[in-house]
Amino acid sequence: MNRIPGQPKAQPYLQTKTQPKTVPAATPATSRMAPSKTPFAAQAKRPATAPSKTPQKSDWRIADLMVCVMARLLQDGERVFHGVASHLPMIAMALARKLHAPNLVCLNIPGGVNPPSVQKASYSSAGADLLSGAEAYFPLDQIFDLSMRGGLDVAFLSGAQFDLHGNVNNSVIGSYRNPKVRLPGGAGSAVLIPTARKVIIWRTRHDRRTFVEKVDFVTTRGNVWKVVTPLCVFGVKDGMLRLESVHPTSSLREVEENTGFPLKYGDVVYTPPPTPRELAALRQVDPHDYRLKEFKN
């Protein structure tokens, strides 16, 4: 790994990982049950009394919740990558480093390892500002090589369509030879989704055009681990997406109505809302609300 001239000596990023600190646990909401059209709130009762310091919905937005959810998925010492148009994961990585994963190794397209701040990344999550003050320089080609060697722990990636089997489409909508829309293609996703140890998909849109029964084209498939949306969190079990938690702002019915494939779930829980500590740290790492950029359109 090459060091940026004038910057401190790079940390030993490939040392044995330390044990992670704890993150908020999900509140059990329901036991195993068959799929139903009954609203999730009617199937699962909330705790009778909420903790006095639990933020009310008016104190946080869905962008705050999604960032906190993604940050909680990261463990101390992991090597984590985010790409372009990725303000939510970029901020989630910074939040995790501040709260429970100080030894997280943050990688990005410009090559700046552990940028000291993301507060200047207003225009892009892949700008030169992420090089300023970084601990080391680790360019994109080396990130691909690291992933191919099994050394990239987590990659945040996205796409246009996803199906029950975790296939990702970012190539075309409609027929490949005569598409309605031709998309950018796989780019780094085609390399990283099959090779990174864990892939976290995020999408700020959850509807039947995004979560479909069968993608129009398989751009890539592989090690999808979690999928975070404005409505819920999916995990992957036995090669299929499985509903793990429903956000407090949503319901099982809403997730069902906006998903193009039958939901699979067992013990579904409510996603824990952001804690006061998380919200305070979030305001520090992202005081300009860059996390809202992905919701503007």
The string of pLDDT tens digits covering residues 95-119 is: 999 999 999 999 998 889 999 878 7
pLDDT band at 36 (very low <50, low <70, confident <90, very high): very low
DSSP H helical ranges for 34-155: 40-43, 62-72, 87-99, 140-148
Instruction: Give the residue, 132 or 109, on which the prediction is more confident.
Output: 109
Instruction: State how far the Cα of 133 lies from the Cα of 263, in Å rounded to an integer.
Output: 45
- DSSP bridge partners of 173: 181
- DSSP bridge partners of 199: 155, 224
Q: Which amino acid is at 80?
A: V
Specify the DSSP class assigned to residue 32: -
pLDDT band at 84 (very low <50, low <70, confident <90, very high): confident
- DSSP bridge partners of 154: 80, 198
Q: What is the pLDDT of residue 297?
A: 55
Predicted TM-score (pTM) of this structure: 0.80
Helix and strand totals (H; E) in the chain? 7, 15
Q: What is the mean pLDDT of residues 127-149?
A: 88
- In sequence order, what are the residues at sequence separation of 6 or more whose Cβ sits closer than 8 angstroms to the Cβ of residue 211? 161, 162, 163, 229, 258, 259, 260, 261
Instruction: State how far the Cα of 280 lies from the Cα of 14, in Å rounded to an integer.
Output: 31
- Pairing of the two strands 161-162 and 79-81: unpaired
Query: In the block, which residue shows the tokens 């031709």?
Result: 182
List pLDDT tens digits, range 218-230.
999 989 999 999 9
pLDDT band at 44 (very low <50, low <70, confident <90, very high): very low
CATH of domain 57-288: 3.40.1080.10
**Domain assignments of the chain as residue spans, ordered by start:** 57-288
Q: What is the four-CA torsion angle of 26, 30, 33, 39, rounded to 10 degrees?
A: -100
